[in-house]
Every structure is written in C-alpha cells, then in structure tokens.
C-alpha cells in the first residue's frame, strides 16, 4: 500500500520566500522592462483579439495595475486600439492595429513564447536557495511512518533516512526487482513542501519555459485572481507539490540541455531544471543509449558546485541552480559503471538486497490481503521448500505481486474464484520464470 504524504501542505510561504513572492503593483516590481511586457502583450493580442484587461491579466499572470499603463502607451503609439465596453463583463476590449500586428509578428519571429510573464533568473536563483531540499529535516520517525505499510528492512531505512536528510546525491544499486524504483519514488514525500514554481524564466531577453504539468502538480485550491487582488503572492509563480522527475533507459544527453523548438521559436527547460527543489531519479543507469561514462560525467560539476551551466543557441553561457535530491539507480555493478573519483562524489551508496524468508512471507501475506486472496499455508510452504530452491532461493520483493497476479489470471481463465492452490502456483511459476531446459 502506498504510504500517504507525510508533510502538511501549507499554503503560506516562509518570510524569506514571501519577500521574493510579494505581489507586484508596478512594472518596476516585476523586474521586467516596458519593451518586453509590451511585446508580450502584442503577442497575446495577436493570438486572441478583442481581449479585456481582466483576460489579459489572467493570461499573462500580471496584475491589471501593471498592464494598464503599458496598454495606454501602446494605444498612444497606435499599436493597440480600444473598443466599446462589453456589458457582460463591463470592461473595455483591446485589439491590435495593423501596425501592432506587424510588430507582434516580428516579435514572434524572434521569440515565439506567448504565455505567462517570466521571472528574472536572479529572482528564481534566490527562491530555489530558500526552498532548498537541504533545508528539509528528515527524522527516523518520518522514515518509519512513510514505510509503515511497506516491507523494508530497518537497516535499509537507517541508510536511506540520513541520505535524504543530507540532500546529497545517492547511488542505489541491487538486483532487478529488489524494490529500488518503488522505494526511491516514495522518498520525495519526505521533503517538506510545497514549493513555488515560476511559469518561465527570463535570461537576458530570452524566455525559457519551466512549468511542466507532467512534473509540476499545483496544490489544490491555490487559484487566485491576478486582476483585482491587492494581496497574495506574485501570480507568475504556482504553488506546487515538490516535483518528482523520473527518467530511465530513454535518457539522452540532449535531454539535459535546453531544448529549442525551431518551428515555435521557444526554449524548454531541461529535466534537471524542472526537478529543482524536488527529486530527480535516474533509473536503470547503464541501460541508456548514451555512454554511461558520458552521462555520469555530465553530473560532476553540478553536484560539486550546486549549479548547472546551460547554453542558448546564440552562444550565451549561463548558470542555473542545481538543487534536488538526485538519485542514481542501477541493476549493474556500480564499480563497472563509475570510477572511484565519481563514486567518491556521491554522498551515499546504498545496496538493495534480496529478502530474508521471514520478510518475504510478511510481504506475501500483505499482497494476498490486497488482492483479497486467501493465503493457504500449505501452498506457501510448498513454494518456499520446493519451488524456490530451484531458483537458488532468491527472494525478491517483486515476486509476490507478480506471482499472485498470474495466479489470478489462471483462476479467471478457468472461471474459478481467485485462490491459491498447488496447481495455480505451479502454473504461475512455470509462466513467470524462464526454464531453459524446456527450450529446444
């Protein structure tokens, strides 16, 4: 059973974070200049014409008090025109003139971003530091509470707990099916949250999209109106649960660099930047299509300096914060994947083992209960004393779920209620494990 989230989700930022997130009341408060906001306004009006100030404020995540002076100046420059108020919403509507449309198209040809207004990189760096995973306190009690419904050896928890508390990188290794991926994905729940994620970042005059709904899940009920409120946080940020980013055999080096969409003229942040203040799990290390040496070397500087370096197409080189619970997980021998110099930089090396018989039987009983299948002691004894010795008595956490799932398949096919029997477990065994002596 998956453990519940441990931390209480508060919607109030700490005083240090609140200072960065204070709601802007003027253009100067945003850190953005007039020309950038004007260009973004023109792009939005080019996308959807005849918009009210309220609608523009919501689309751009900037208060109406910030946008109105920019709109007025665009009107004086004959790039935007106002139209009669709509009685249904009581506000003026704005549309592009021919001159404004030409300028919008010119802006889009250079930078196709047309979303919420970005935040300055320096403000984001400060925010990441104040929401750092290294500031999360993890106790022995937290670990045991998180895994109270999971069969995990206390010795393993005693290694994982300090590793998470430290905020340093982890190297997790062990046989396939030993629970590495499942246990690793639970660890993000130990990081106190939530955190604020900006929609996008501004580097020079280039926008980089950061918010990704695949990884950034807003705290329920955190919607706010950017138009009328005079209090609350800067609407360019979204309050989210700490991000959990997992990648496996599909990982390539280019996924760790800025991605530029040639057609849309937009930049997308790399995986590690989306994982900021959360967790990044590199699963199945050594199974990637890219050399594991190149992949591991990519992490050396960020791990040591707590910052990563990215490049824009024009050649601009800039640093971004590198703050996350970074976990490498592999089924292979770590000494065959990484040299001593790299492993020395990893704070914690944690080996996952096969289960002891007593722990295995506890997990077997737990899975039986979850699947509403009665555990037959005679069948279980037959499995442990006669079937497992043929497999070298290797007891893995994945076996109960997989074997009992096959038992259920067998019973349903025969029109029987799902139950353990000698016939059903032998059938499941024959279908689960590879028996080369039957091939030929």
As a whole number, mean pLDDT of residues 12-23 equals 73
As a whole number, mean pLDDT of residues 102-111 equals 95
pLDDT digits (tens, 9 = 90+) for 50-103: 999 999 999 999 999 999 999 999 999 999 999 876 656 557 899 999 999 999
The sign of the torsion formed by the CA atoms of 353, 357, 359, 360 equals positive
Question: What's residue 92's pLDDT?
Answer: 87
Question: What's residue 289's pLDDT?
Answer: 86
Identify the band that residue 14 occupies on the pLDDT scale cut at 50, 70 and 90: low
Question: What's residue 315's pLDDT?
Answer: 86
pLDDT digits (tens, 9 = 90+) for 325-370: 999 999 998 888 888 888 888 889 999 999 999 999 999 999 999 9
Inform me whether the pLDDT recorded for 431 exceeds 80. yes
CA-CA-CA-CA torsion for 115, 121, 123, 128, nearest 10 degrees? 100
Strands across the sheet with 80-86, in order? 51-52, 91-96, 80-86
Strands 119-120 and 324-330: unpaired
Inform me whether the pLDDT recorded for 18 exceeds 80. no
Question: What's residue 415's pLDDT?
Answer: 93
> What are φ and ψ of residue 283, in 5° steps?
-90, 155
pLDDT digits (tens, 9 = 90+) for 228-242: 555 678 999 999 999
Q: For the chain, what percent of residues have pLDDT higher than 90?
A: 78
Kindly write down the DSSP assignment for every residue of 110-171, as one continuous string.
H----SSPPEEHHHHHHHHHHT-GGG----HHHHHHHTTTS---HHHHHHHHHHHHHT--EE
**For the chain, which domains are there?**
33-115 (1.10.10.10), 120-135+146-351 (3.40.50.300), 357-438 (1.10.8)
pLDDT digits (tens, 9 = 90+) for 158-212: 999 999 999 999 999 999 999 999 999 999 999 988 999 999 999 999 999 999 9
Identify the band that residue 9 occupies on the pLDDT scale cut at 50, 70 and 90: very low
Q: What is the DSSP letter of 286?
A: T
Give the SS3 label for residue 86.
strand
Inform me whether the pLDDT recorded for 376 exceeds 70. yes
Using alpha carbons, select from 307, 256, 260, 319 the residue that is nearest to residue 282: 256
The pTM score is 0.87
- What is the rounded average pLDDT for all residues in the chain? 90
Strands across the sheet with 170-173, in order? 244-247, 278-282, 324-330, 170-173, 348-351
- Structure token pair of residue 48: 């959807």
**Position of tokens 């929609």?**
199
Counts of helices then strands in the chain (DSSP H, E): 18, 17
- Structure token pair of residue 180: 């590495």
Contact criterion met (CB below 8 Å) for 201 and 214: no
Total length of the chain: 440
Identify the band that residue 5 occupies on the pLDDT scale cut at 50, 70 and 90: very low
The sign of the torsion formed by the CA atoms of 163, 167, 168, 169 equals positive
Using alpha carbons, select from 128, 87, 42 the residue that is nearest to residue 323: 128
Question: What's residue 222's pLDDT?
Answer: 59
Q: At what angle do helices 64-76 and 53-60 cross, to 10 degrees?
A: 120
Strands 237-240 and 195-198: antiparallel
Q: What is the DSSP letter of 372?
A: T
Contact criterion met (CB below 8 Å) for 11 and 222: yes
Using alpha carbons, select from 407, 185, 200 the residue that is nearest to residue 282: 185
Give the SS3 label for residue 331.
coil
CB atoms within 10 A of CB 331: 17
Contact criterion met (CB below 8 Å) for 277 and 133: yes
Question: What's residue 220's pLDDT?
Answer: 82
Q: What is the DSSP letter of 23?
A: P
Identify the band that residue 6 occupies on the pLDDT scale cut at 50, 70 and 90: very low
């Amino acid at each position: 059973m998956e453990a519940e989230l441990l931390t209480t989700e508060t919607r109030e930022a700490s005083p240090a974070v609140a200072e960065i997130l204070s709601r802007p009341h003027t253009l100067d408060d945003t850190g953005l200049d007039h020309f950038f906001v004007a260009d973004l306004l023109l792009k939005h009006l080019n996308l959807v014409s005849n918009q009210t100030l309220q609608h523009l404020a919501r689309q751009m995540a900037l208060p109406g008090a910030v946008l109105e002076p920019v709109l007025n100046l665009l009107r004086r420059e004959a790039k935007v025109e106002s139209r009669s108020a709509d009685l249904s919403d009581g506000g003026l509507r704005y549309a592009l003139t021919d001159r404004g449309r030409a300028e919008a198209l010119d802006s889009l040809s250079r930078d196709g971003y047309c979303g919420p207004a970005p935040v300055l990189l320096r403000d984001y760096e400060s925010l990441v530091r104040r929401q750092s995973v290294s500031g999360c306190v993890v106790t022995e009690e937290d670990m045991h509470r998180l895994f109270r419904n999971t069969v995990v050896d206390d010795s393993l928890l005693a290694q994982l707990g300090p590793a998470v508390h430290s905020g340093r990188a982890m190297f997790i290794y062990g046989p396939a099916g030993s629970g590495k991926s499942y246990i690793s994905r639970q660890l993000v729940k130990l990081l106190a949250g939530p955190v604020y994620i900006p929609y996008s970042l501004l580097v020079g005059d280039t926008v980089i999209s950061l918010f990704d709904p695949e990884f950034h899940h807003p705290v329920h009920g955190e919607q706010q109106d950017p138009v009328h409120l005079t209090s609350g946080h800067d609407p360019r940020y979204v309050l989210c649960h700490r991000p959990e980013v997992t990648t496996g055999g599909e990982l390539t080096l280019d996924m760790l660099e800025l991605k530029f969409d040639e057609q849309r003229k937009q930049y997308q942040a790399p995986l590690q930047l989306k994982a900021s203040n959360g967790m990044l799990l590199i699963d199945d290390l050594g199974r990637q299509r890219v050399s594991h040496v190149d992949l591991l070397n990519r992490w050396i500087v960020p791990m040591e300096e707590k910052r990563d370096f990215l490049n824009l197409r024009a050649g601009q080189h800039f640093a971004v914060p590198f703050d996350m619970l970074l976990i490498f997980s592999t089924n292979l021998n770590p000494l065959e994947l990484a040299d001593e110099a790299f492993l020395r930089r990893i704070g914690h090396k944690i080996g996952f083992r096969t289960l002891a018989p007593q722990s295995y039987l506890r997990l077997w009983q737990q899975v039986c209960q979850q699947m509403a299948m009665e555990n037959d002691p005679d069948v279980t004894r037959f499995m442990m004393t006669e079937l497992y010795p043929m497999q070298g008595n290797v007891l893995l956490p994945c076996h109960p779920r997989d074997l009992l799932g096959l038992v259920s398949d067998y019973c349903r096919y025969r029109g029987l209620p799902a139950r353990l029997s000698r016939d059903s477990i032998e059938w499941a065994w024959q279908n689960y494990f590879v028996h080369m002596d039957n091939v030929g």
